[in-house]
Structure 1
């Protein structure tokens, strides 16, 4: 069968002919892959640069996708077994780590929305424990995951949603109650930016951060200066598009009711991940949620691999 194979750590995938997977245990499930999303996480895991990577090569690229069992049932899977990944004509998965796709959802939408939807759903429900009284800030509400996070916060009952990031047009179109673009401010206007930011987010109780780095430092400084010191703030770190590190002021932690936590594959258990994806599919149907995507054939994997993550590249197999 055809597969996109990565031979060494950091090497780009190439199309090769490999043996089909074999079922060896009762939990093994062989799926005929129909579509796979090229998320940043999927590419990082494939290349061996993600914290959850299994650095055993060669292996089939791709972490997640949509496949069909031999009896015609459609499943979303996140993670494969052995050397098999999502970017192949067939893959081998643990049936306990799959989610059945509702009939109302097409395979491309399911492949495109599962990962970004799970990132915000799990963060809001299992980490922040969102309520109807929460005001949610989405930091980095310009890409696929961040834009969907705005819609997800509303779907889960947030009282108010605020969007921040650099791309003003994307923020404007994200659909939040209010937004602020850091690109509107020059280097000598950072004091004004912090003031405007602080005034806008003074009542925020949940932050979903897809950027980290300097934008996170600015949000924390603004919360320290302008928020109600007695209000609980749950700050959820999800992505690090700006930087993997920050300078965290100790005074913020001592002087405010501030909880900092991460949300990712290591901070969620298997049941929470599976439940999150099931709920994402349900919310996608009931609230007409979707994400922009661009489709590519498997043989065009090199072209698709270099494309930006927004719109989401989807490999059709």
Structure 2
């Protein structure tokens, strides 16, 4: 696919958010619209596209899949209207032309038909952050009903959804841990049985984590960095039976890309560390999980908090202050 270049709006062009430098936010421009080039590709009219952390990291070149291609149109998923009128949630592969455009090219094999009346903005806001914990629990952890879950980083948008999803998938106890005291107070209303503050001295944080979550079966880790480095030994040492498996699912690295992991910790407890994300879970497995997740979001079973902003104001949207837990959604 050729890289998008500036062009006057016409039948063969579309307006889009265009990244021309990894050091600057996208700008609203008219660019050539790629033609469908394979059997299952179609042009869709985009109704809503979420500004997810994954989208930001692609747009600044920091995501681990980034190949440094510029210019690019960001956006990895969205809700759009197919030529036959069907409402679709679609996921895009790694591409230089994403979903933050008035029109884009999608693969029907990576798209899900949504029921009439579905709120495009809610689905665009919730599917990507919800997918992170939904796929982790179903495909990586293999969560069984009654097992306990700790969400490390539960005050962010994906973490708040993870609390709800763990509860919806039958978790016994759900513990939410995070730094934002006000957001922690909201987690019991979303399904958390207990909350843990990650503020304070390392020893105090470790004691709180050990007391609240010693015998959890699964940790959904959106933070990594220092919080993970505090939590791993705290949980391992406090477990009633260290031989019981503890599945540590690494999803995000908001608090840092690296940790110091003592080798003795892996011998002293049945700690199983694995990642969940693009590459560690196949596309077919991810796509198989989308229908039920979309249904839960569409039915309002999972609370999402979108902030809709016009695509034409993408520069402002990129730097607009957003409350924790909210997700910017761009709408043409």
TM class by smaller structure? over 0.9
Paired with 1:154 and 1:269, the residues of 2 have a C-alpha distance of: 25
3-state DSSP of counterpart to 1:113: helix
Paired residue for 2:331? 316
Paired with 2:258 and 2:96, the residues of 1 have a C-alpha distance of: 32
1:62-211 alignment runs, 5 A limit? 62-79=75-92, 83-103=96-116, 105-175=118-188, 176-183=192-199, 185=200, 187=201, 190-211=202-223
Is 1:262 the counterpart of 2:275 in the alignment? yes
Paired with 1:233 and 1:182, the residues of 2 have a C-alpha distance of: 20
The equivalent position to 2:238 in structure 1, one of 200, 209, 226, is 226
Task: Give how far 1:232 is off.
Answer: 0.8
- CA RMSD in angstroms comes to 1.7
The more displaced of 17-26 and 63-72 is: 17-26
3-state DSSP of counterpart to 1:32: strand
Contact 1:117–1:277 (CA<8 Å) still a contact in 2?
A: no
The more displaced of 123-132 and 269-278 is: 269-278
Task: Give how far 1:316 is off.
Answer: 0.8
Q: 1:22 to 1:191 in 2, by over 3 A?
A: closer
Is 1:39 the counterpart of 2:39 in the alignment? no
Paired with 1:143 and 1:118, the residues of 2 have a C-alpha distance of: 14
Task: Give how far 1:181 is off.
Answer: 0.7
Count, aligned residues: 313
Task: Give how far 1:304 is off.
Answer: 0.6
Contact 1:136–1:206 (CA<8 Å) still a contact in 2?
A: yes
Paired with 2:34 and 2:294, the residues of 1 have a C-alpha distance of: 28
Q: 1:104 to 1:125 in 2, by over 3 A?
A: farther
Contact 2:205–2:230 (CA<8 Å) still a contact in 1?
A: no
Structure 1 length-normalised TM? 0.94
Task: Give how far 1:192 is off.
Answer: 3.4
3-state DSSP of counterpart to 1:33: strand
List 4+ stretches of structure 1 deviating above 6 A. Answer: none
Contact 2:125–2:306 (CA<8 Å) still a contact in 1?
A: yes
3-state DSSP of counterpart to 1:60: coil
The more displaced of 21-30 and 255-264 is: 21-30
Task: Give how far 1:99 is off.
Answer: 1.8
Paired with 1:285 and 1:66, the residues of 2 have a C-alpha distance of: 12
3-state DSSP of counterpart to 1:216: helix
Paired with 2:194 and 2:162, the residues of 1 have a C-alpha distance of: 14
Is 1:213 the counterpart of 2:229 in the alignment? no
Note the residue ranges of structure 2 that are not aligned, 5 or more in a row. Answer: 1-13
Q: 1:226 to 1:80 in 2, by over 3 A?
A: closer
Post-superposition CA distance 1:132-169 (Å, at most 9, x none)? 13100000000110001000001000011001111122
Task: Give how far 1:108 is off.
Answer: 0.5
Contact 1:4–1:15 (CA<8 Å) still a contact in 2?
A: yes
Task: Give how far 1:311 is off.
Answer: 1.2
Task: Give how far 1:82 is off.
Answer: 5.2
Task: Give how far 1:81 is off.
Answer: 7.4
Paired with 2:302 and 2:95, the residues of 1 have a C-alpha distance of: 33
Paired residue for 1:243? 256
